[in-house]
Amino acid sequence: MYKSFVIFDFNSEQQQCTEKEEKCFRRRKQNLNFYKQLKGMLLLGAIFSFQIKFCDSSSHSYHHRYDEQHVKCSAEGSICSTSRAQICRNNTCVSVCSVKDMRECRCDSEEDNYCFLCCGNERNRCLPAHEHGILRDNGERWERDACTRCRMNGDEMDGMPCDDQDTQRLCLQGKCSKSVCVDKQQGQYCDKKSEKICVDDVCENPCAKISPYLMVCECPAIDPDTGFASEDRCQLCCFDYHQKPSTRRCRNAHRNYGIKSAQDRPIWRIGLECAGGKRCNRYGICSNDASPGGRNQTRVSTSLLAIIVFSILILAVLITSSTTIFSESF
């Protein structure tokens, strides 16, 4: 019988062993090499995971709105750029967040704080700069100039573009908002100039995606070629304002330019008035029962129905209770 465990001298050149011992030796040597490789891989994995954890904790999810440009300056403490919220420190233009050892970041509530400069670091949450006590020399908040105009002149700028970096944002009730289409139907105008419409809850000019010269228009209610109600009335139409007015024509955007919604369908102009007092419904058809009031009308109708049903139930309970009391009294 062979022993189950044999110790070999790896340095011996004249090692004598049987065939079974040779197999055992080779297997032990392979296992030894495997464990050495496994030990190395585990060590590398531990180092790599530590580096990832360190990088994640140090970055703290800070995203700069733009790349820092270290422009030279001379007047210490002066404002280098109002739009970029930079001041002069040590002869270099840096973010005003650095006055409190912070960095510029994106706030969590992007819609409410979009117009303001936000600062934060590993110890302080990313918040608007004025909440960290970082203000301009005159005590005002660090705010985009376009947003300031929207806030100060809300009535005049309502529905007008308010940000040169994001054309989808419009001035809405004194705020530079991107949610202007929340209470509007597909295809309804969403800006003061009636140049943009709501498409998939975004206020935009979908015609401009094909060419900057294409503008949103309304196809005629009566087709000039046939004299009948136009089939294009309830769909998005575009025209090229570079053409002469005599040759300019409003054309179906889906058929002529391939413009479509996220659902791969033509963009409907819900609520648009058709011939015969009808309106475009949510299926892109002129109908008498189309609701031009938008989403709020549906919500109001549903709420009204719920109130009516609830009132009927209460009335039924009261009648039943009064009948029971009346019966018991006799």
Exposure string over 37-47, b if 16+ CB within 10 A, otherwise e: eeeeeeeeeee
Q: What is the pTM of this model?
A: 0.48
State phi, psi for 279 to the nearest 5 degrees.
-135, 155
Of 128-137, 139-148, 195-204, give the lowest mean pLDDT range: 139-148
The larger pLDDT score, comparing residue 240 to residue 152, is at 240
Mean pLDDT of the chain: 76
- Between the ranges 2-11, 188-197, 215-224, where is the mean pLDDT highest? 215-224
Residues comprising the chain, all counted: 330
CA angle 209, 213, 215 (to 5 degrees): 75
Q: Which long-range contacts does 286-290 make (Cβ < 8 Å, 24+ apart)?
A: 286/229, 286/233, 286/234
Q: Which long-range contacts does 77-85 make (Cβ < 8 Å, 24+ apart)?
A: 79/136, 79/137, 82/145, 83/144, 83/145, 85/117, 85/129, 85/142
Predicted confidence at residue 1, as pLDDT, reads 37
- Please give the Cα distance from 235 to 90 (Å, whole number): 59
Predicted confidence at residue 270, as pLDDT, reads 94
Predicted confidence at residue 301, as pLDDT, reads 54
- Between the ranges 147-151, 191-195, 206-210, 299-303, where is the mean pLDDT highest? 206-210
Of 191-205, 257-271, 282-296, give the lowest mean pLDDT range: 282-296
Q: What is the pLDDT of residues 10-24, one digit of tens each?
A: 444 444 455 555 666
**pLDDT higher than threshold 60 for residue 95:** yes
Exposure string over 62-90, b if 16+ CB within 10 A, otherwise e: beeeeeeeeeebeeeeebbeeebbbbbbe
Mean pLDDT, residues 135-159 = 81
**pLDDT higher than threshold 80 for residue 61:** no
Q: What is the pLDDT of residues 216-250, one digit of tens each?
A: 999 999 988 888 989 899 999 999 988 888 888 99
Instruction: Provide CB contacts within 8 A for 165, sequence distance 6+.
Output: none
Instruction: Provide CB contacts within 8 A for 160, sequence distance 6+.
Output: 150, 170, 171, 191, 192, 193
- Please give the Cα distance from 286 to 266 (Å, whole number): 15
- Please give the Cα distance from 65 to 61 (Å, whole number): 13
Q: Which helix (H) or strand (E) holds 273?
A: none
Instruction: Parse the chain into domains and list their residue ranges.
Output: 54-142, 144-180, 181-294
**pLDDT higher than threshold 70 for residue 265:** yes
- Please give the Cα distance from 220 to 173 (Å, whole number): 33
**pLDDT higher than threshold 80 for residue 49:** no
**pLDDT higher than threshold 80 for residue 86:** yes
The DSSP string of 180-237 is TTTTS-TT-B-STTS--EEETTEEE-GGGGT-TTEEEE---SB-TTTSSB-TTTTB-E
Residue type present at position 152: M
